[in-house]
Structure 1
Amino acid sequence: MANTPSAKKAARKIERRTEVNKNRRSRMRTFVRKVEEALASGDKDAAGAAFKNAEPEIMRAAQKGVLPKNTASRKVSRLAQRLAKLSA
């Protein structure tokens, strides 16, 4: 348990930041899930629209430090590949 005032403040800040990051991660996963569901159903128009919405959300999560930049790029790349395969 934090004893000093600065440690108590740091604990409060970490708690708030954790909550924000949890929301951002959840939001990103929701967008990714929508793309995957559209890909699974074979609807390329819906998948394209969902991907267009998901890509900035994934990159924003990376920018905000929720996940590493390379991880976000890899996720976007793999979704794009699956979308291209569906369109072909």
Structure 2
Amino acid sequence: MANTLQSKKRIRRNNRRAEVNGARKSRIRGFIKKVETACTDGDKGAAQEALKTAQPEIAKGVAKGVMHKNTAARKMSRLSKRVAAL
């Protein structure tokens, strides 16, 4: 249990940041899911549009510290590859 004021504040801050970061991760996953569903449906145009909107969101996740840059690069690469294969 936190005893000092600083540790209590740190717990409050961590909870707030976890909530915000969770929302960011969820948003990114949603954009990725749109690309993947468009790929499974075989709709190349929709997949390309979804990829165009997903890439900046993934990059924003890296900038905000929610996602590691190599993870983001890997995800973008794999999504691009799937769209190109259509």
TM range (shorter): over 0.9
1:75 alignment counterpart = 75
Alpha-carbon distance in structure 1 between the residues aligned to 2:17 and 2:4: 20
Distance 1:48 1:16 in 2: 35
Instruction: Name structure 2 gaps, 5 residues minimum.
Output: none
Moved >6 Å (runs of 4+): none
CA distance in 2, matches of 1:22, 1:62: 14
Are 1:64 and 2:64 an aligned pair?
yes
Percent identity over the alignment?
A: 55
TM-score by length of 2: 0.98
Could you state the TM-score of these two structures normalised by the residue count of structure 1?
Answer: 0.95
Q: Structure 2: how far apart are the matches of 1:10 and 1:78?
A: 38
Root mean square deviation, CA, Å: 0.5
In structure 1, the gaps of 5 or more residues are none
SS of equivalent residue, structure 1 residue 2:
coil
**Which structure ranks higher in relative contact order (CA pairs < 8 Å, sequence separation ≥ 6)?**
2
